[in-house]
Amino acid sequence: MDARLILTLGCLWAAPALAQGFDQSHQAWDALVRRHVVLLPGNHASQVRYAEMAKERAALKGYFDALSKVPKAEFGGWPKNERKAFLINAYNAFTVEKILTRYPDIRSIWDFGKIFGNPFKDHFFTLLGRRMSLDGIEHEILRQPGAYDDARVHYAVNCASIGCPMLREEAYVAGRLEQQLDEQAQRFLSDRTRNRYRDGKLEVSKIFDWFKEDFEPRQAYFARHAGALGYPGGAVPVEFLDYDWTLNDFRSSSPR
């Protein structure tokens, strides 16, 4: 076959693949969480079938490879909601992968260690051209002042724990991101095991203490969400509940 014809055919074959780029529907991750995330009664929380997720490591790896291949320059050219959805999905997927490296011999993400082996500070994956940690995604990018300035990301990233806002049962996608984040906020704030009004005071998740700067002014934030929190509004005493770091494993955890 003529060399020029071979070159032409090669270019025609490669062009669609290059044009396609990264799958902004996050179809691979969407399929996995739809199969293996279980909504608990009331739809305020979820758990994960890690045992079943572990059988799909090849599919997970394919998604990780796609995430890791995105260059920083390409990422920077995307619309903000595409970037935000990418980062949230990446955080959640890599967290699941971290758990699977020890599953089923793990009862909490802190089993990896809080100083040596810290699961949030461990640079165990590649993203945007460099080795990165879960904290790198959350604190260095998503929460970087001026980058996104969206407290709702706290309701979207999942730390594989009962106390954490739920892992969503679908991938985050740019076209529906606002609605998805609003729903996540409503779900978490309405969960009376983690946020409630009782005896004249608000008892809320430690998230609002650890990341208080993201919710300031905090009393005003709570007042805006008084309906979800189930309180009449106004300034009231606030107490922070203990955080449950038990693994959000559907097999080993009892429904709440």
Tokens for 118, please give them: 């810290």
Cβ count within 10 A of residue 8: 11
Query: What is the secondary structure of 32-85 as a DSSP string?
Result: HHHHHEEEPTTSS-EEE-HHHHGGGHHHHHHHHHHHHT--HHHHHTS-HHHHHH
Torsion angles phi and psi, residue 181, rounded to 5: -70, -40
pLDDT-derived band at 68 (thresholds 50, 70, 90) equals: very high
Backbone dihedral angles phi then psi of residue 191, each to the nearest 5 degrees: -80, 110
Distance CA 86, CA 175 (A): 12
Higher pLDDT, 16 or 128: 128
Average pLDDT over residues 77-85: 98
pLDDT tens-digit readout, 218-228 = 999 999 999 99
Instruction: Please write the tens of the pLDDT for every residue from 93-144.
Output: 999 999 999 999 999 999 999 999 999 999 999 999 999 999 999 999 999 9
Q: Are 161 and 172 in contact (CB under 8 A)?
A: no
pLDDT of residue 251: 75
Number of other residues whose CB lies within 10 A of the CB of residue 189: 23
Q: What is the mean pLDDT of the chain?
A: 92
The answer on pLDDT for 177 being more than 70 is yes
Give the Cα separation of 245 and 108 in Å (integer). Answer: 6
Residue ranges of the alpha helices (H) in the chain?
3-20, 27-36, 50-53, 57-68, 72-76, 80-100, 134-135, 177-189, 207-210, 218-224, 226-229
Q: Reduced to 3 states, what is the DSSP secondary structure of residue 251?
A: coil
The tens digit of pLDDT for each residue in 198-243 reads 999 999 999 999 999 999 999 999 999 999 999 999 899 999 999 9
Predicted confidence at residue 2, as pLDDT, reads 55
The Cα–Cα gap between 238 and 241 comes to 10
Residue 11 pLDDT: 41
248 touches 161 (CB < 8 A) = yes
pLDDT at position 234, please? 87
Token output for 18 = 């290059």
